[in-house]
Homo-oligomer: A and B are copies of this chain.
Amino acid sequence: MKKHDQDFMKRQNRLTVFQIIKNEQPISRAAIAKQTGMSPTTVSRIVSELTEEGYVHETEEQASAGRGRKSSLIRLLDTAVISIGVELDRHQANIGFIDVQGNVLCSGNFPRSSGDTPEATVARIADIIEELILECDIDRRRIVGIGVGLPGIIDVEAGIVNFSVQLGWKNVQLAERLKELTGLQAVVDNELKVKALAEQLKGSAYGSNRTVLLGFGNGVGSALILEGEIYRGVTNSAGEIGHTTVDPEGMMCDCGKAGCLQTYINIPSLLSEASKIKPVRTIEELFAERRAGTRWACYLIDRALAYMAITINNVVSMYNPDSVILSGEILDKFPEVYEEITNLCYTQYIWEPLQDSFTIVRSKLHEHGVIIGSGLVAQDRYFQLN
């Protein structure tokens, strides 16, 4: 992408103005100019451009700052842009329509099983989208694209799912097929990465500019947002901490190495460990055992929580973020562990000089994080091109 001409500059400025309106609406032109350092003239021009194109509008409201002419306030025309966010995992797909603010306008879902082919899944997604459009009376012209978030390694540029253990997919040209079936632009990205973006844009890390999100659930992963951009690394696998070694003399992992982080904290590992003593089917049962005070359950879960705290320390030491978001099935289902983990962090595991450099927060968007995030990624893509 060119980065050196006036066109790029203009786009950049349009985008900043748009973002500010999005985040701080209602806001006056003057305030935008002050904030960005642009001249009022420029802001005015951009705003009228955006108005003409139907993205924003001047409201009736007026704010007075004491003396002087009242500023007329600009707001998003929030139905101006709608995107579709899709969350794919082993057992189901969730689909939602997302507005510019990241609100879920309406949503649907369908169950799937791990054997389902990509083709079948894509077809089903397209169907549901059609249904939802009719059902919720969505204006088709407003839809700017589809974003899909799923667990796995994804080549975002190419829109290809390189590899997803959870879905059992390999080298699937997901974006292309979706585009063919729906006629909409499609983006595919890793679920944790889009979730992190969503949390930073409108969730619990709002205002942060170095955010790390940790996901503790069926898998273990992390995602890093730098300056509002998802950090992906060279092969799109940045943040794949599941196979970091935390105990070289520890348990064997499926991957053939010993002591991988995920063998201590992901749900399947916890269940299979537990099952050596007593058959436990679900993570709920395991936590129930713990609540009942069963010794081995306490041991397993306490160890997992300790490793989570250690992971926080290690991630913070490397990325030095200002905000760490805890998310994933374990935190969604058992919110009480959040306190336990943060306590462990501050009392035992975080290197003292770093203790005040960041805050630990819980994911705020919960089950909707991925569809909001992937929807917003789709919008980002749209705005970068328009």
Q: Which of B4, B233, B236, B313 contacts A319 (CB 8 A)?
A: B233
Q: Contact: A255 with B320, CB < 8 Å?
A: no
Report whether B244 and A318 are in contact in the complex, using a CB–CB cutoff of 8 Å. yes
Q: Does A298 contact B (CB under 8 A)?
A: no
Query: CB of A310 within 8 A of chain B?
Result: yes
Provide the residues of chain B in CB contact with A238, threshold 8 Å.
318-320
CA of A351 to CA of B244, assembled, Å: 8
- Number of residues from A at the complex interface, CB < 8 A: 62
Contact across chains for B234 and A321 when beta carbons are under 8 A apart: yes
User: Per-position contact with B for A343-354: 1 when CB-CB < 8 Å, else 0?
Assistant: 000001101111
A353 touches B163 (CB 8 A): yes
Interface residues of A in 189-235 (CB under 8 A from B): 209-210, 222, 226, 231-235
Judge whether A243 is part of the interface by a CB distance below 8 angstroms: yes
> Which listed residue (B38, B233, B310, B318) contacts A245, Cβ 8 A?
B310
- Pick from B209, B248, B354: contact of A237, CB under 8 Å: B354
Q: In the complex where A2-B37, A9-B6, A37-B2 touch, is A153 in contact with B317 (Cβ < 8 A)?
A: no
Assess the A351–B37 pair: CB atoms within 8 A. Answer: no
Q: Is A314 an interface residue (CB 8 A)?
A: yes
A283 interface residue, CB < 8 Å from B?
no
Contact call A320/B257, Cβ cutoff below 8 A: no
Report yes or no: A320 in contact with B357, Cβ–Cβ below 8 A: no
Cα separation A42 to B5 with both chains bound (whole Å): 10
What 1/0 flags go to A74-100 for Cβ under 8 Å of B?
000000000000000000000000000
| Chain A residues near B (Cβ < 8 Å) | 2-6, 8-9, 12-13, 16, 36-38, 42, 153, 163, 209-210, 222, 226, 231-248, 255-257, 260, 306-307, 310, 313-315, 317-322, 348-349, 351-354, 357-358
8 of the cross-chain contacts (CB-CB < 8 Å) are A4-B9, A4-B38, A4-B42, A163-B353, A234-B320, A238-B318, A240-B320, A260-B351
